[in-house]
Structure 1
Amino acid sequence: MLKTQKGSVGAPMTFSGYAHDYDKAIVAVQFSLDGGAHWTEHATPGATSDRLVQWEFEFIPKRSGEYRLLVRSVNEQGQASPTPDGVSFVVEE
Structure 2
Amino acid sequence: MQGYASDYDRTIVAVEFSMDDGEHWTRYPVEGATSERWVRWELEFTPEEAGSYFVQVRSVNDRGEASPTPAVLQFEAV
**TM-score scaled to structure 2, two decimals?**
0.95
State whether structure 2 residue 35 is matched by structure 1 residue 67.
no
> Rg larger in 1 or in 2?
1
2:21 to 35, 38, 57: 35
Gaps of 5+ in 1: 1-14
Task: State the Cα deviation string for residues 24-66 of structure 1 (Å, max 9, x = none).
Answer: 0000000111111111110001111010001100001111111
Percent identity over the alignment is 54
- Counterpart-to-counterpart distance in 2, 1:38 and 1:84: 13
One-letter amino acid of the counterpart of residue 79, structure 1: E
State whether structure 2 residue 62 is matched by structure 1 residue 76.
yes
Aligned residues: 78
2:10 to 24, 27, 33: 24
- Counterpart-to-counterpart distance in 2, 1:32 and 1:68: 9
State whether structure 2 residue 76 is matched by structure 1 residue 90.
yes
Deviating 4+ runs (over 3 angstroms): none
SS at match of 1:69: strand
- Counterpart-to-counterpart distance in 2, 1:48 and 1:77: 13
**TM-score scaled to structure 1, two decimals?**
0.81
One-letter amino acid of the counterpart of residue 10, structure 2: K
